[in-house]
Amino acid sequence: MPYVNVGKENTGNIDLYYEDHGTGKPIVLIHGYPLNGASWEKQVSALLGAGHRVITYDRRGFGQSSKPTTGYNYDTFAEDLRKLVTQLGLRDFTLAGFSMGGGEVARYMGRYGSKDVSNAVFISSVPPYLLKAADNPEGVDGSAFDGIQKAILADRYAFFTEFFKNFYNTDQYLGTRVSEQAVQSSWNIAASSSATASLACVPTWHEDFRKDLARVQVPTLVIHGDADRIVPFAASGQRTAKMVPGARLVVVKNGPHCIIWTHPDEVNTALLNFLKEEKKLELTAPA
């Protein structure tokens, strides 16, 4: 299995598991909390079918990657991503982040600029700034995040059970757009994550990415469900699309947080059309 080394903790290596499939223009898919790279399966097949090289990886603390007790902040996450990109020698690639993964897309652009990045995609993503503050009245009250951390500390397994109800809006979609088995699979993946990562990632959700988004200078697609109960559309996707000049916004009607699973046709159509149109623009651009 392929891994990239991103550091050490005491005597142990910190390695990220990744998968690299297909040929053509690369796209790096960055997963959300508390899942892993395999959560993109409905997009991977579509992207491979459209002729893309598709790279997924597990964030530190999740999936088959190492589970250190350090590095759970977006500067480190972006640095981890940079090491993966460098090891694979990627050029002219798309960065796509779901949920928490959108933070990596933003922070990567904020720290490293748009060199070699051709497109950016934010799906149900946490930018620009989820925490309510004096200069950010549209954000979410900090007590909500405090409550999540308390629930994880008390019993993270019970927390995950409740979390996935709103992740998929199971009261609406269980048995139609998501099966009990798919929800159980998500719970199993979450339960296998690092206890440290499960807790430490929560404060990162309300990182301030506004300065990072100001550095996004590539064609950008924002996809978000208007019934997202985890990352509210009005506080996130709607604002991100306004902050990135020229960004294209696709709103999935009645879409919950995990639209990459419940509404794959809408997500894949928007994603593939965006990538196809950007490719056409490149081909017709003057030399």
Domain map (residue ranges) of the chain: 3-284
Residue 1 has a pLDDT of 72
Condensed to tens digits (0 to 9), the pLDDT of residues 200-230 reads 999 999 999 999 999 999 999 999 999 999 9
Range with the poorest average pLDDT among 27-36, 140-149, 182-191 = 140-149
* Residues above pLDDT 70, as percent of the chain: 97
Q: Is 107 exposed, middle or buried (0-12, 13-18, 19+ CB in 10 A)?
A: buried
Condensed to tens digits (0 to 9), the pLDDT of residues 44-71 reads 999 999 999 999 999 999 999 999 999 9
Q: Which of 15, 58, 80, 228 is catalytic?
A: 228
Residue 277 has a pLDDT of 85
Residue 280 has a pLDDT of 55
Over residues 172-185, mean pLDDT: 98
Condensed to tens digits (0 to 9), the pLDDT of residues 79-99 reads 999 999 999 999 999 999 999
Q: Is the dihedral of CA 214, 215, 216, 217 positive or negative?
A: positive
DSSP string, the chain: --EEEEEEETTEEEEEEEEEE--SSEEEEE--TT--GGGGHHHHHHHHHTT-EEEEEPPTTSTTS---SS--SHHHHHHHHHHHHHHHT--SEEEEEETTHHHHHHHHHHHHTTTTEEEEEEES---S--B-BTTBTTSB-HHHHHHHHHHHHHHHHHHHHHHHHHHHTHHHHBTTTB-HHHHHHHHHHHHTS-HHHHHHTGGGGG---HHHHTT--S-EEEEEETT-SSS-GGGTHHHHHHHSTT-EEEEETT--S-HHHHSHHHHHHHHHHHHHHHHHHHHHS--
Let me know if 141 is a catalytic residue: no
Residue 138 has a pLDDT of 87
Condensed to tens digits (0 to 9), the pLDDT of residues 101-117 reads 999 999 999 999 998 99
pLDDT above 80: residue 281: no
pLDDT above 60: residue 180: yes
Q: Which of 39, 65, 66, 99 is catalytic?
A: 99
For residues 45 and 286, the model is more confident at 45
pLDDT band at 283; cut points 50, 70, 90: very low
Let me know if 52 is a catalytic residue: no
What is the rounded average pLDDT for all residues in the chain?
A: 95
Let me know if 257 is a catalytic residue: yes
Q: Which of 206, 224, 257, 263 is catalytic?
A: 257
Residue 279 has a pLDDT of 63
Condensed to tens digits (0 to 9), the pLDDT of residues 242-277 reads 999 999 999 999 999 999 999 999 999 999 999 998
Specify the fold of 3-284: Rossmann fold (3.40.50)
Q: Is the pTM of this model over 0.85?
A: yes
**Encoding tokens for residue 11?**
């005597």
